[in-house]
Chains A and B, each alone.
Chain A
């Protein structure tokens, strides 16, 4: 495992939290109710906190004199390695919940295993983050049940979101060459081994929510290689504006 392998592996994990955190941050002041607004922005802040831990570690690993802000705000689109799932838009509350649930279940399983990493930094971050993610999963899973087994309208909307976002779930279990090296060294988690448990778990939850499990065999991919959907440019434009307009600005 080279230093560069580990760096790319870390981006693959941290960028998910960064971009999903940014997406949830867009909802600040717009949540459907005061209570869900605060809940979703709390989750956003949890994710940003986790990103900072990863990026501080990444900054240490990088040869150049980079800071966590450089990593978050000054990379180009192709250099972000997040999954396509997390960059999908806040179409409506059903999409927000389904996107969150699909990610949370995966995130929890990943952190569970990452706690056993040979890399003490990753071990530490995973141990700290997993309690937060346990709550995220509880929140989104609970809402999935409510919307699915709710009114006719909520059911129709959440079923639509499930069908549309399902195609992004397979990518959660893709492994890049960098990942492979890091897994072999015992520092990373082989996400391929989580796949069966993951689908068993979300299928069960969807059934409980009286929703249909999509049968599509066609899945989207690309985010892990830095090839993103049309939404990514807009997210970055929003997110990077301040650092690009006022380089090195501090709060």
Chain B
């Protein structure tokens, strides 16, 4: 029997943010405990207003060995970035 509790990933939405951001991970026996633990470990300095937890094993991650085929083809396609427009001077905050 594995004596360690399963690993959970913690996502916290901060007061001034709209999206939940990955804050880190922790161990807990179940989802309820993971929420309590996340509250204690990651929001004790009033960082957040909402917490999500998900068991780490439920996250499907891309394989770093496939980085070549997945990400490199995008590297020389500068035309996919909207950087070729001339912006009128009157438009602010861009």
Nearest residue, chain A, Cβ from B40? A39
Q: Please name all residues of chain A whose beta carbon is closer than 8 Å to the beta carbon of B5 when the two chains form the complex.
A: 33
Shortest distance in angstroms between A139's beta carbon and chain B's nearest beta carbon? 6
CA of A142 to CA of B37 in the docked complex: distance in angstroms? 12
Given contact pairs A139-B36, A142-B33, A142-B36, A35 touches B44 in the complex (Cβ within 8 A): no
> In this assembly, does B65 line the interface, its C-beta being within 8 Å of a C-beta of chain A?
no
Q: Assuming A38-B40, A142-B36, what are 17 further A-B pairs, CB within 8 angstroms?
A: A33-B27, A34-B26, A34-B27, A35-B26, A35-B28, A35-B41, A36-B37, A38-B41, A38-B44, A39-B36, A39-B37, A42-B40, A135-B39, A138-B36, A142-B32, A142-B33, A146-B33
Binding site for A on B (CB under 8 A): 5, 26-29, 32-33, 36-37, 39-41, 44
Q: Give the nearest-CB partner of A139 in chain B.
A: B36
Alpha-carbon distance between A35 and B36 when the two chains are bound, in angstroms: 9
A-chain residues with CB within 8 Å of residue B26 when the two chains form the complex: 34-35
By a CB distance below 8 angstroms, the chain B residues around A38 are 40-41, 44
Contact present for A42 and B44 (CB under 8 Å): yes
Q: Mark A151-167, 1 if CB is under 8 A from B, else 0.
A: 00000000000000000
B29, B32, B40, B44: most-surrounded residue (chain A CB, <10 A): B40
Given the complex, which residues of A lie within 8 Å of B39, measured CB to CB? Answer: 135
In the bound complex, CA of A139 to CA of B37 (Å): 10
Query: Distance (Å) between the CB of A38 and the closest chain B CB?
Result: 5
CA distance A142 to B44 in the complex (A): 19
Please report the C-alpha to C-alpha distance between residue A38 and residue B39 in the assembled complex, in whole angstroms: 10
Complex contact B37–A35 (CB within 8 A):
yes
Smallest CB–CB gap between A7 and chain B, Å? 33
Within 8 Å CB of B36, what residues of A? 39, 138-139, 142
A135 cross-chain contacts in B, Cβ below 8 A: 39
Q: Mark A30-74, 1 if CB is under 8 A from B, else 0.
A: 000111101100100000000000000000000000000000000
Q: Which residues of B contact A36 (CB under 8 A)?
A: 37
Query: In whole Å, how far is A192's beta carbon from the nearest beta carbon of chain B?
Result: 33
Closest chain A CB from B61 CB (angstroms): 24
6 pairs across A/B with beta carbons < 8 Å? A33-B5, A34-B26, A35-B27, A35-B28, A35-B37, A139-B36
The answer for the CA separation of A116 and B37 in the assembled complex, in Å, is: 33
Enumerate chain A residues within 8 angstroms of B27, measured Cβ to Cβ.
33-35
**CB proximity of B2 to chain A, nearest CB, Å:** 14
